[in-house]
């Protein structure tokens, strides 16, 4: 029993010793910049990315918080989607939408408590096993995230539907801006 009580303190001591040696050998990175923006602390690695810690999670953005805060975004949070029984991620099967769905599934949908179901916005052979959903089908219990590739950048949240229309050149920046806002980093 005594051995078990010593494992955790011994492990923590080992981590602290290794950290000290890491600083002695590697030094402190001079490229690291720390800034506060709207009550949150951001750390830059010097490579252009900015990290912010919220609770147990760390979020990394390719753009500075000041830049993301200027993007026109709807007033929508994860709570808007967590109140639903299910959320449909609807894409147009006839369009190449690039990284939008990948960014959504890796950066946004993991924070939605309701099941996220892949759907299509119109009937198509690629959608033989997927439901057909668009913004007209959105309700308080079945929300819709509609993704379209367009020549005009526009993100709106109207009547339980998050409509994402992005030009390919703006995908990363605007998807990060959406996550930035949904996390409440731009109150």
Q: Per-residue pLDDT tens for 49-64? A: 999 998 888 999 999 9
pLDDT > 80? residue 8: no
Report how far residue 33's alpha carbon sits from residue 45's, in angstroms, rounded to the nearest whole number: 7
Greatest mean pLDDT range, 47-56, 128-137, 178-187:
128-137
Specify the higher pLDDT residue, 28 or 155. 155
pLDDT > 50? residue 4: no
Same domain flag for 82 and 171 = yes
Is the residue at 11 inside a domain?
A: no
Same domain flag for 99 and 39 = no
Residue 187 C-beta-side C-alpha neighbours within 13 Å? 4
Is the residue at 34 inside a domain?
A: yes
pLDDT > 90? residue 66: yes
Q: Is 161 exposed, middle or buried, given 0-12, 13-18 or 19+ CB atoms closer than 10 A? A: buried
Same domain flag for 65 and 143 = no
Is the residue at 6 inside a domain?
A: no
Per-residue pLDDT band at 94 (split at 50, 70, 90): confident
Same domain flag for 57 and 115 = no
- Mean pLDDT of the region 165-187: 87
Query: Domain containing 48: what range?
Result: 29-70
The residue assigned the tokens 């990175």 is: 29
Q: What percent of the chain has pLDDT over 70?
A: 82
* Predicted pLDDT at 5: 40
Same domain flag for 88 and 134 = yes
Could you tell me which residues come within 8 angstroms of residue 37 by beta carbon, excluding any fewer than 6 positions away? 65, 66, 69, 185
* Predicted pLDDT at 29: 55
Kind and range of the H or E element at 82?
Answer: helix 78-82
pTM of the model: 0.76
pLDDT > 80? residue 69: yes
Query: What is the rounded average pLDDT for all residues in the chain?
Result: 82
Is the residue at 102 inside a domain?
A: yes
Instruction: Identify the weakest region by mean pLDDT among 18-22, 32-36, 112-116.
Output: 18-22
Q: In this structure, how many other beta carbons lie within 10 angstroms of the beta carbon of residue 29?
A: 9
What is the number of structural domains in the chain?
2
pLDDT > 80? residue 27: no
Q: In this structure, how many other beta carbons lie within 10 angstroms of the beta carbon of residue 169?
A: 10
The residue assigned the tokens 């753009």 is: 63
* Predicted pLDDT at 187: 66
* Predicted pLDDT at 130: 92
Report how far residue 152's alpha carbon sits from residue 139's, in angstroms, rounded to the nearest whole number: 26
Same domain flag for 158 and 138 = yes
Is the residue at 172 inside a domain?
A: yes
Same domain flag for 167 and 114 = yes
Is the residue at 16 inside a domain?
A: no
Is the residue at 147 inside a domain?
A: yes
Report how far residue 20's alpha carbon sits from residue 83's, in angstroms, rounded to the nearest whole number: 45
* Predicted pLDDT at 139: 97
């Amino acid at each position: 029993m005594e051995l078990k009580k010593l494992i955790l303190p011994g492990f923590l001591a080992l981590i602290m010793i290794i950290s000290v040696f890491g600083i002695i050998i590697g030094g402190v990175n001079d490229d690291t910049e720390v800034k506060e923006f709207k009550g949150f602390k951001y750390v830059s690695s010097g490579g252009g990315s900015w990290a912010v810690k919220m609770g147990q999670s760390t979020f990394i953005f390719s753009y500075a918080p000041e830049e993301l805060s200027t993007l026109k975004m709807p007033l929508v949070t994860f709570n808007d989607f967590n109140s639903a029984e299910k959320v449909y991620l609807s894409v147009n099967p006839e369009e190449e939408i690039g990284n939008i769905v990948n960014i959504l599934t890796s950066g946004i949908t993991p924070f939605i408590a309701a099941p996220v179901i892949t759907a299509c916005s119109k009937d198509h052979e690629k959608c033989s096993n997927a439901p057909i959903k668009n913004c007209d089908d959105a309700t308080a219990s079945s929300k819709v995230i509609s993704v379209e590739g367009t020549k005009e950048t526009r993100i709106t949240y109207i009547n339980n539907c998050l409509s994402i229309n992005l030009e390919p050149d703006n995908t990363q920046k605007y998807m990060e801006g959406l996550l930035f806002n949904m996390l409440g980093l731009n109150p």
